[in-house]
Amino acid sequence: MNAAIEVEALSKRFGAVVALEDVTLKVENGRVVGFLGPNGAGKSTLMRALLGLVRSDSGEAHIAGLPYAHLPAPAKTVGAVLDIASAHPRMTARAHLHTYVALGGMDRSRVDTVLSLVGAQSYADRRIGTFSTGMRQRLALATAMLGDPDILVLDEPSNGLDPSGSAWLRTFLREFADADGAPYCSPAMCSTRLSTRSTTSSSSTEAAPSGLAHSNDS
Amino acid sequence: MNAVYGEVARLSGTGVALRSTLVALACGGGLPLLLALTGPQNAQPPMPDIDTPEGVGFVLGIGTVLLFVPALIGTIAITNEYRHRTIGTTFLVVPRRGRVLTAKLAVYTALGIVYGMVASLSAFLALIVATWMRGVPLGVNVVNLVPALIQLSLAAAAYMLLGVGIGALARSPFVAIGVVLGYFLFVEYVLMMVPGVNAIYPFLPGGATASLTSFDFLTGAIASQTALTPATMVSPVLGAAILVAYAVIAAILAIFVPLRRDLR
């Protein structure tokens, strides 16, 4: 069986800036993995390369054994939150979700399902421009969950969430992984969450050649 | 087809479709109504009134000077995808970018045609209202207006695609809007006034549109005030072909430029 996520010797330069250098990692199903690293270490770039938004100079990145663009049903395999600002402010949350449901050929009933999942029903028909950061974060997570994916890729998923929102997110990700999904997140927030959880579960950190580090919490 | 449905949902959800229709109503009918009410014979240089075929053609043709508006709508809609960073989420749901970009082109071509039809209808209504208010007959049979109105619709679709292409190239809404407004409201007019260079005007988007609609008022007006020899317009068919060529180039740019672009 293929690993949920497999990256092999991935490198990427932006002009003179080396963003990723020979990064290799493997994430199995049912695990929550957090990336640690200082600003500019390349955490977000690695996620974008994994999802085909940034073209790597060399190396390979596979999800469920295939490059992201070759997945037969990408939104049903991977849900991603890379940028919580990625929504048109004039749209309502419901219209935003309907757009991506239509684009992905998904069942329209998923809109209400994910709104309920992230607790956003009460502001589903408000314009996104009026949302707080936390509300945007929940909408971004709802968008990622539209395809009912097996794998989640989240970049700084708790940014803007209040303490109860952060607690909710921790529970959400743990339950997702326990259901044999493979959440995978980058971020400052993850380091906090993982270190808190390290008192009750094993964790490890290893440095990547580029200075990027990732921490496993099983 | 999912990509097309998604783009239609986006147009509807962002309100672009509704606002585009309202703008078409205002831009299509506003200027012709003003001109038809005040009388083309009072323009500088004076033109025949709307009780003649030439006068009707002039009033409809003046609407073409606002064709930069559909270009602007296409530009803003595309650059907003980058400004609000929705393009990344779109490519995550449909990672084969060519499908998304082709769907966008198809949807914006349709929106451009709808814009042109609404603007044409609005211009036609403006003529009817003006003839009724001034108590003068319309210079042409209504049936004879249909080709002109179809030409205006197709020109609007071509301009919308031009805007989409410029938006895909520039990405920044401020740069793209500056390019569209600067070119259509300044550069083309300046080129019309430069001796020698003005000969290429019929091959520019504005000149091709003027040829398509047989609207040579602007070149004539500039020639009369600058002692320049007015540029010779090409045939309506060639004008249409030039506009289509610009639209095709814009469409190719809109598809191929973002295809390999890194979204950081």
pLDDT tens-digit series, residues B224-233: 667 677 777 8
Crossing angle (nearest 10°) for helices B142-170 and B68-83: 30
Phi, psi of A132 (to 5 degrees): -80, 170
Q: Cβ–Cβ of A105/B14 closer than 8 Å?
A: no
Residue A32, pLDDT score = 80
Total structural domains in chain B? Answer: 1
| Cβ A215 vs Cβ A194: under 8 Å | yes
Three-state SS annotation for B169-234: HHCCHHHHHHHHHHHHHHHHHHHHHCCCHHHHHHHCHHHHHHHHCCCCHHHHHHHHHHCCCCCCCC
Say what the pLDDT of residue A67 is.
93
Mean pLDDT is lowest, of A146-160, B42-56, B175-189, for B42-56
Looking at residue B11, what is its pLDDT?
A: 92
DSSP structure class, residue A23: E
- How much is the average pLDDT of B27-39? 86
Confidence class of residue B142 from pLDDT cuts 50, 70 and 90?
confident
Give A-chain residues touching B6 at CB under 8 angstroms: 99-100, 102-104
- Determine contact, residues A182/A27, Cβ cutoff 8 Å: yes
Residue B252 distance to chain A (closest CA, Å): 21
Query: Cα separations (Å) of B2 from A55, A81, A105, A116, A141?
Result: 25, 22, 6, 25, 22
pTM (2 decimals)? 0.84
Give contacts of A146 with chain B, Cβ < 8 Å: 93
* Burial grade of B69 (CB within 10 A; 0-12, 13-18, 19 or more): buried
Strand order in the sheet with A5-14: A17-27, A5-14, A58-63
Query: Of B227 and A49, which is predicted with more confidence?
Result: A49
ipTM above 0.90, yes or no: no
Pick B13's closest partner by Cβ from A45, A98, A147: A98
Largest CA distance in chain B: 62
Q: Residue A87 and residue B86: Cβ atoms within 8 Å? A: yes
**Helix (H, G, I), strand (E, B), or coil: what is residue A131?**
coil
Adjacent-strand bridge partners of A189: none
Average pLDDT, chain A: 80
Mean pLDDT to the nearest integer, A137-157: 89
Q: How many CB atoms lie within 10 A of CB A55?
A: 12
Is the confidence at residue A18, as pLDDT, over 50? yes
Are A86 and B89 in contact (CB < 8 Å)?
yes
pLDDT at residue number A184: 66
Q: Is the Cα torsion angle A148, A149, A152, A156 positive or negative in sign?
A: negative
Q: How far is CA A99 from the centre of its chain?
A: 20
DSSP state of A128: G
pLDDT of residue A181: 65
B219, B225 Cβ separation under 8 angstroms? no
Which of A22, A35, A118 has the alpha carbon at shortest distance from A82? A35
Cis peptide before B195 (omega within 30 of 0): no
Is the pLDDT score of A92 beyond 90?
yes
> What is the domain extent for residue B123?
3-261
What pLDDT does A183 receive?
65
Residue B261 has pLDDT above 60, yes or no: yes
Per CB-CB distance under 8 Å, the chain B contacts of A75 are 92-93
CA distance B220 to B208: 15
Q: Above pLDDT 90, what percent of chain A?
A: 38
Closest CA to B192 of B65, B78, B83: B65
pLDDT grade for A193, boundaries at 50, 70 and 90: very low
- Cβ-proximal residues to B122 (8 Å cutoff; 6+ apart), any chain: B24, B25, B26, B27, B28, B29
* Residue B41: pLDDT over 50: yes
